[in-house]
Amino acid sequence: MKSVLRSAFSAKVTCVTALLCFAFFAIPAAPQDSAPAEVTVIHAGKLFDAHAGRMIENQDILIRGEKIEKVGPNLAVPAGAHEVDLRKATVLPGFIDVHTHLTSKAGAAGYNSLGVSIPRHALAGARNARVTLLAGFTTVRNVGAEGYADVALRDAIDEGDVSGPRMQVSGPIITITGGHGDNNLLPFEFHYNAEGVADGVPAVMAKVRENIKYGADVIKFTASGGTFSKGDSPLFEQYSPEEMQALVAEAHRLGRKVATHAHSAQSIKDAVRAGVDSVEHGIFMDEECIQLMKQHGTYLSATTYPLFWYEKNEDSLHLPPWVIEKVAMIIPAAKVNVARAYKEGVKVALGTDAGVYPHGLNGGEFWSMVQLGLTPVQSLQAGTVNAADLMGWSDKIGAIEPGKYADIVAVNGDPLSDITLLQHVDFVMKGGVVYKGNQ
């Protein structure tokens, strides 16, 4: 009996050993060295130093893979490197827009929006992301999308399924019942509230957690009423100071920055005191608002280009009457108050509100900032190093420097002399990959 057991055990061991050996030899060995990263050298006639705010002539940019390795004059070109000749162009860091709505479409305001499904929002976002990238904006912050469509878009871009800019996304806007961000178009019998609605301290804390759970990189809430929403007013505050403080504290505790839509002076003051990282729009800010923002280091993303654009194109969008009434009130106030904030030195990050007007026109914001008092250099910094700082990505983007992503654009001419050139970008590279020009 013992002999039989020994034989059976020996056979089992032999079988297991054979299987292990087969498995070992069947698994291909890992390569000893990964394939070398592709090397590109850009020869720039002029290069914008975003930190110093100046142009440098005759610079070379050595790119290995998706990162910048060296910047300087007369760099040695490695054997086999791909060379890009931009000696007749001005080379700049890829632009950053901290206020977009890539999954939204201009003209889909009011009741027209009710027929748009979440999947359709996401698919529209894929188109808009590509248009935005080709306009020279290699990074955006998407601050408001239904159904977390912006989360899906961000992930699709990251995985290479579609072309588009780097994204930070907020998911649904957090708002009060009936406020800007809620859907007030349907009658009572539908009993409908938008997914971002939260009233009271416990509810806003829970909503912050929920947005983060489903993929939000940044939290967006509405401190005041808005323009495109029905039944609210941009002149009045929505959330109470206590609700704002709880919302911001919870977001910061969980490592997320906070952007607030705020038009009215009171909403701006309470949001800034609560610790928001950026005020979006700021249309009716007063002197106290400006001083508070400077004291707290709060960024302003004024999104003014749409206001200039609407003055010429309002009739083509067939806007609802309540939007037309609000636009008529907002435009003159914005031109005065934003210009004052710029003059007094509030920190500025470029945001466009693309989605309430056509995507791909983002470069117009550089022009509108100059129209309202910033220098061309300051406007460029707002759309590069300042925006990167607001997003917490200064180590990744915002300047053409070693170690940062090779997010690079170029225009023919000098944008410091003609800021409108930034609306017509000729070359776009994101992460070392050329998407437009010199391919």
Q: Are residues 334 and 202 in the same domain?
A: yes
Classify residue 70: in a domain, yes or no: yes
Q: Is residue 31 part of a domain?
A: no
Residue 61's nearest CA partner among 38, 80, 84, 79 is 84
Q: 89 and 111: one domain?
A: no
Mean pLDDT of 230-241: 93
Same domain, 89 and 210: no
**pLDDT per residue as tens digits for the range 70-128:** 999 999 999 999 999 999 999 999 999 999 999 998 777 777 778 888 999 999 999 99
Strand partners, 221: 174, 260
Q: Is residue 104 part of a domain?
A: yes
Does one domain contain both 253 and 338? yes
- The letter for the amino acid at 390 is L
Q: Residues of the chain with pLDDT > 70: what percent?
A: 91
Q: What is the CATH number of the domain that holds 162?
A: 3.20.20.140
Q: Is the pLDDT of residue 3 over 70?
A: no
pLDDT in tens, 325-378: 888 889 999 999 999 999 999 999 999 999 999 999 999 999 999 999 999 999
150 shares its domain with 186: yes
Instruction: Choose one of 335, 362, 389: the last residue of a domain.
Output: 362
Cβ–Cβ under 8 Å, residues 173 and 196 = yes
Tell me how many domains the chain contains: 2
Q: How do beta strands 408-411 and 427-430 pair?
A: antiparallel
Q: Are both 90 and 109 inside the same structural domain?
A: no
> What's the pLDDT tens digit per position in 242-286?
999 999 999 999 999 999 999 999 999 999 999 999 999 999 999
SS3 31: coil
Most confident of 6-15, 18-27, 111-120, 135-144: 135-144
Domain final residue, candidates 362, 391, 416: 362
- Looking at the fold, whether 275 and 346 belong to one and the same domain comes out as yes
Q: What is the mean pLDDT of residues 300-314?
A: 91
CB 145 within 8 A of CB 155: no
Q: What is the pLDDT of residue 36?
A: 57
Per the domain annotation, does 207 fall within a domain?
yes
The average confidence (pLDDT) of the chain is: 90
Over residues 46-75, mean pLDDT: 97
For residues 227 and 415, which has the higher predicted lDDT (pLDDT)?
A: 415
Instruction: Report pLDDT for 143.
Output: 98
290 part of a folded domain: yes
Residue ending a domain, among 332, 362, 392, is 362
Is residue 122 domain-shared with residue 85, that is, in the same domain? no
Instruction: Answer yes or no: is 32 within a domain.
Output: no
Residue 377 within a domain: no
CATH code for the domain of 70:
2.30.40.10
Check whether residue 213 and residue 150 sit in a common domain.
yes
Residue range(s) defining the domain that contains residue 264? 95-362
373-396 in b/e form (b: 16+ CB < 10 A) is: ebebbbbbbbbbbbbbbbbebbee
Asked if 331 and 230 sit in the same domain, the reply is yes
Are residues 99 and 155 both part of a single domain? yes
| pLDDT at residue number 229 | 87
Question: Confidence band (pLDDT; 50, 70, 90) for 42?
Answer: very high
User: Domain check: are 210 and 70 in the same one?
Assistant: no
pLDDT at 32: 37
Residue 107 lies inside a defined structural domain of this protein: yes
